[in-house]
Amino acid sequence: MSGITDFDSLRREMAENGERPEGPARNARAEQLLAEAEKLGIPLAVIEALGHQLKVYNYSSEKDKMFVPFARLLRMWDERPEDFDAYEVHTLHWVFKWMSSGMLDQPHVPLASIEKWLGEMEHRYRLAGHSERAVRGAEFSVAAHLGDVPRAERAYAAWLAADRDSMADCHACELHEQGWWQERQGRDAQALELWAPVLEGQFTCAHEPHAVLASSLVPLLRLGRTDEARAHHLRGFRLVRGMESMRGAYADHVEFCALTGNEARALELLAERPAYFTDTGQPRSRLDFLSVVTLLMERLDAMGLGERQVPGPAGRTWTARELAAHARAETLALAARFDERNLTSHVSERARARMARPPLVERLPLGVRTAGRVSAPAVPAPAPVTAQAPDLPALLATARRMSDTLRPDAMDAWAAVARAAADAELDVRDRAEITDHEAMDRGPEGAALFERAAELYARAGDPGEALAARTRAAYARALAGRVDEALAAVEEPYDQVLALYAEDATGVRQTASVLMGRARIMMRRVLDADAAGGEAGGERVLAEAEAAVRELLALVGGHTGDAVRIAARAAEARAMLAELAVRRGDPQTAVELFGRATAAFVEAGLPWFAVEYEARLAGLAHHLGDIAGAERALRAALEHGGAHLEAVGRAQLHLQLGEVLGGRGLSVEAAEHALEAAHWADEAGESRTLGAWARQQLGGFLLRQGRFAEAAEVLESALPDLNAETHGDGAVVQTQWWLGDCLSELGEHRAAAERRLQAAEIARHWPEQHDHATLAHLAAESLGAAGQPADADRAYARAGELWRSLGNVHGLVRSLRARAWLALRVEDGADAARASMTAAVRECEAALGATGTDEEARLRLVAELGHTHRQFGDLLARRAAEDTDDDAVRAALEDALAQVTEAVAVFAPLGDDALDSRTGAELAAGRLECDLGRPAVATAHARAVLAAYDGAPADDETARNRRAEAEQLLRVVDEQGAAG
């Protein structure tokens, strides 16, 4: 059985179908409902069912089906207009506009038919007494589609000049169309100015600001307003993701990703909507979509990724190159059909221009995670041209100069030397240096090569450098975890280099290198001892390491030769002493020494060496509560690291700085750094670890700014990578909590409840249960807002139990009050509602009776009791309004008045701290007295409120509102007196 037995049940079914997601299923149900309507034998039922069918077709991918039901409706109107009620008459004329745009979208509809339809629309609107505003708007759309700029400009002016009436599109849609025209004419700034009221939420509708957010993306990029463009993408895509009818806006978001270096996200967007490739119900939006697909695929091909597998039309697999050719051919064929109909080349020209659009931003971080990055394959370096290649001596000179001045890319220079010297005859000294630097590049695996370099240095007659290389070999062993072996290996080079230095047989540079290597090995031993949890000889290890470092400082201190290297040795030595101070529990000394070390690196022209120690300095400053010092150090680290920072280090610094700034309440700048951290973590291949942290922080900072849609997108993308093992279950709970808050603000209450319940389930296992209670309470709020009162009541009951176990009376009372209001929404729930409110009053009074000497806690409980009495009164008054028996109504109003009067009495002793609460209760009491026919008492309440705010500041909004309510109450009393 269909369940449709009368007109009312048909209307309920149509309303329910209207709430379903856009798409073929909803359309099919509308077709079934029309068949059911026809069985009722009621003309208006058929009219309404046809209108419903029209609406769901219009908001779907099957817009081409609109014309048949509309033609039938129009025929019914012409034959029997008396069958239409006022609403259906309005609707019939309203959808004339849908027919106009719908015809433009279908290239098989002749241009002559469209022009004829415009005349028909104008004629019928005139007969119905409507303004020509909608007609001129439709004419503008036709002219703009044809590329007839003069006619479009005339129609545009006439459209705006005509009066707005009930047939005019909503403000949001009109502003979208007006801004679209300005953008088409190259006036991006004017377009954005027109769109501002829609973007700011002043005007909205079913498809706005969805469409305006999408249309604004490219203009914002062209104007360099990339932060706004990013925000509009995150916010706007969330709105259009589930709306099948918004393929054109969806295409704008794919295009935005393709133009900002976010090709991987663009591919993910395509994968979400496979039907968009083939849905034919609205050819014009398909043309837009395929144009953007072509743009993206040709960009991938140009990046060398033409063979990459990509999402495409169902039925086969596609490479980017194959899909590019297919989409271009489909686009141009479709554009040609429009142009053939229009007798112009305008549509094809626009499509070609869009497909050829160059990137507008090389890389715009979005903050959201993509499943995989899209990177151009490495292009092998071209074979060197012998005639132009620099000679080996020149390469050696460059590499030595860069090493002597400690340039960050010195190792690349030595690698170039090694490649050039592969088959060359070299003297032993040159070969020693090449081998030495190859060993440095291998890190812990370089010990054997360092030993080889030492042999070569010795043969070259440089015993000091040979000892330095042997020391580097020992340090490589320490890095590999063989610290004891390293300590044994370094002692001989250490003794020998000191002897050579004493005899002037080697220089300070070589001697300092050996002493530095030995000190580094000693520091590794300190770190190992620290990791092992200390040892009996821990202080001895610290003392020996400090002695080694101070010996190095004594050697290099004040030395002026070989300035850069010696300055670097001195700076690093001070940083070592700082680390030792940390191990000894002296953070203040460590801060001072790290500060001296970083300053020395910067003064020596080696700021990139300071970064590691500035990061350590920031951590110590934060630990000591010096937030400003931590911020300074992190900013300096980012500045000094510059382009030399590795991606993971850059991500860590940005994340730390974001956390510091967020702690100071600077959420806007904190979000910028969290965004950078997410980007660099992705670049470093750390999306699932460091990237997830960064996205979690970014979502929180966006939430603080009230940017709920953006925050939700970011937090949702972070959640799959967050796990208790890597990030801790606290991070997972916090992310779910924040996401629930975002979804609640966005009106997605079912989803908010789900997130809050998931978080509560994790927090349920924690020793401290306050978070569990809070999340259970929030989940109950969301369930109630989602229209699930039974589930909400259970959640509030659970929250109440938790609040009671925690001794939190305020939470318990609020859960009881919430349950009372929920009960009122259920049939026969009045008694349960009263019982819950009574229990809330009793809990407050019991807590007040048990309050000790804490005056602040007592006053908070008094205020809670006042609010409870006030809500009890409001609840009883609401219940009275639903009753039909006069005696019962009066009794309920008296009960409500008693509660509100008690609220006034409770708030009164709190003085100015509860003034607004007391006067609100006074006014409620006055209105109830008025309803009970006691004007004198109602007047007294109103005058008490006016007196309470006598002399209140002019900018006190609450005072203004209360006075206005009191004066309104006095007018009502006077009117009742006059009527009596």
CA nearest neighbour of 780 among 766, 762, 798, 764: 798
Band of the pLDDT at 384, cuts 50, 70, 90?
Answer: very low
**Position of tokens 């990578």?**
721
pLDDT at residue 375 above 80?
A: no
First CA to last CA across the chain, in angstroms?
Answer: 56
Higher pLDDT among residues 376 and 595, named by residue: 595
pLDDT at residue 387 above 50?
A: no
Buried b (16+ CB within 10 A) or exposed e, 349-370: ebbbebbeeeebbeebbbbbbb
Is the Cβ–Cβ distance between 142 and 118 less than 8 Å? yes
CA nearest neighbour of 48 among 64, 67, 72, 20: 72
**Position of tokens 């942290």?**
693
CA nearest neighbour of 185 among 150, 237, 209: 150
**Position of tokens 């700082």?**
578
HSE-up of 113 (CA within 13 Å, CB side)?
13
CA nearest neighbour of 255 among 283, 279, 221: 221
Q: What is the pLDDT, as a whole number, of residue 636?
A: 95
CA nearest neighbour of 920 among 949, 881, 883: 949
Rounded average pLDDT over 314-320: 95
Band of the pLDDT at 116, cuts 50, 70, 90?
Answer: very high
Between 57-61, 176-180, 900-904, the lowest mean confidence (pLDDT) is in: 57-61
Is the Cβ–Cβ distance between 539 and 498 less than 8 Å? no
By the 10 Å C-beta count (0-12 exposed, 13-18 middle, 19+ buried), 383 is classed as exposed
Q: What is the pLDDT, as a whole number, of residue 893?
A: 92
By the 10 Å C-beta count (0-12 exposed, 13-18 middle, 19+ buried), 205 is classed as middle
Is the Cβ–Cβ distance between 674 and 697 less than 8 Å? yes
Band of the pLDDT at 537, cuts 50, 70, 90?
Answer: low
DSSP secondary structure, 838-900, as one string: HHHHHHHHHHHHH--S-HHHHHHHHHHHHHHHHHHHHHHHHHHHT---HHHHHHHHHHHHHHH
Band of the pLDDT at 884, cuts 50, 70, 90?
Answer: low
∠ CA 585-590-596 to the nearest 5 degrees? 170
Query: What is the token pair recorded at 279?
Result: 């849905």
Give the C-alpha separation, 69 to 61, whole Å.
Answer: 16
Q: Which whole-number Å values give the CA distances from 803 to 792, 814, 852, in the listed order?
A: 16, 10, 20
Give the C-alpha separation, 623 to 387, whole Å.
Answer: 59
pLDDT at residue 754 above 60?
A: yes
CA nearest neighbour of 657 among 628, 679, 695: 628
Q: What is the pLDDT, as a whole number, of residue 377?
A: 61
Q: What is the pLDDT, as a whole number, of residue 383?
A: 45
Interacting residues of 313 by C-beta distance below 8 A, sequence separation 6+? 274, 277, 278, 326
pLDDT tens, residue by residue, 831-851: 999 999 999 999 999 998 886
**Position of tokens 């997830």?**
692
Is the Cβ–Cβ distance between 54 and 66 less than 8 Å? yes
Buried b (16+ CB within 10 A) or exposed e, 497-513: bbebbeeeebbbbbbbb
Rounded average pLDDT over 720-724: 92
CA nearest neighbour of 930 among 886, 885, 893, 879: 893
Give the C-alpha separation, 698 to 956, whole Å.
Answer: 36
Interacting residues of 82 by C-beta distance below 8 A, sequence separation 6+? none
Q: Which whole-number Å values give the CA distances from 205 to 174, 201, 237, 392, 608, in the listed order?
A: 11, 10, 16, 71, 53
**Position of tokens 């083939």?**
278
Band of the pLDDT at 381, cuts 50, 70, 90?
Answer: very low
pLDDT at residue 385 above 90?
A: no
**With left for phi above 0 and alpha for psi between -120 and 50, is residue 316 left, alpha or beta?**
beta
CA nearest neighbour of 434 among 423, 445, 419: 419
* Per-residue H/E/C for 402-452: HHHCCCCCHHHHHHHHHHHCCCCCCCHHHHHHHHHHHHHHHHHHCHHHHHH
User: Chain-wide mean pLDDT for the chain?
Assistant: 92
Is the Cβ–Cβ distance between 476 and 445 less than 8 Å? yes
Element (H, E) at 170: none
Q: Where are the beta strands (DSSP E) in 216-323?
A: 309-310, 318-319
Count the neighbouring beta carbons within 10 Å of the beta carbon of residue 877.
Answer: 20
pLDDT tens, residue by residue, 447-472: 999 999 999 999 999 999 999 999 99
Is the Cβ–Cβ distance between 686 and 725 less than 8 Å? no
Q: What is the pLDDT, as a whole number, of residue 125?
A: 93
* Per-residue H/E/C for 760-821: HHHHCCCCCCHHHHHHHHHHHHHHHHCCCHHHHHHHHHHHHHHHHHHCCHHHHHHHHHHHHH
Looking at the chain, the number of H-run helices and the number of E-run strands are: 47, 2
Give the C-alpha separation, 23 to 196, whole Å.
Answer: 31
Q: What is the pLDDT, as a whole number, of residue 60?
A: 86
Count the neighbouring beta carbons within 10 Å of the beta carbon of residue 831.
Answer: 9
Q: Where are the beta strands (DSSP E) in 64-131?
A: none
Q: What is the pLDDT, as a whole number, of residue 561?
A: 52
pLDDT at residue 166 above 60?
A: yes
pLDDT tens, residue by residue, 473-491: 999 999 999 999 999 999 9
pLDDT at residue 933 above 50?
A: yes
Element (H, E) at 184: helix 171-184
Interacting residues of 785 by C-beta distance below 8 A, sequence separation 6+? 744, 749, 752
Amino acid at 800: G
Is the Cβ–Cβ distance between 525 and 559 less than 8 Å? no
Q: Measure CA 134 to chain center.
A: 38
Is the Cβ–Cβ distance between 795 and 776 less than 8 Å? yes
DSSP secondary structure, 323-388, as one string: HHHHHHHHHHHHHHHHHHHHTSSHHHHHHHHHHTPPPS-S----SS--SS---PPPPPPPPPPTTT
pLDDT tens, residue by residue, 790-829: 999 999 999 999 999 999 999 999 999 999 999 988 888 8
Between 42-51, 133-142, 534-543, 699-708, the lowest mean confidence (pLDDT) is in: 534-543
Higher pLDDT among residues 290 and 888, named by residue: 290
Q: Measure CA 669 to chain center.
A: 14
Specify which residues 309 forms β-bridges with.
319
Count the neighbouring beta carbons within 10 Å of the beta carbon of residue 204.
Answer: 15
Is the Cβ–Cβ distance between 246 and 27 less than 8 Å? no
Q: What is the pLDDT, as a whole number, of residue 364?
A: 95
Amino acid at 460: A
Give the C-alpha separation, 46 to 44, whole Å.
Answer: 5
- Segments in 584-626 forming alpha helices (H): 587-603, 607-623
pLDDT tens, residue by residue, 5-31: 899 999 999 999 998 988 889 999 999
Q: Measure CA 932 to chain center.
A: 53
Q: What is the pLDDT, as a whole number, of residue 1?
A: 40
Q: Which whole-number Å values give the CA distances from 610 to 596, 597, 640, in the listed order?
A: 10, 7, 7
Q: What is the pLDDT, as a whole number, of residue 471?
A: 96
Rounded average pLDDT over 378-383: 48
pLDDT at residue 665 above 80?
A: yes
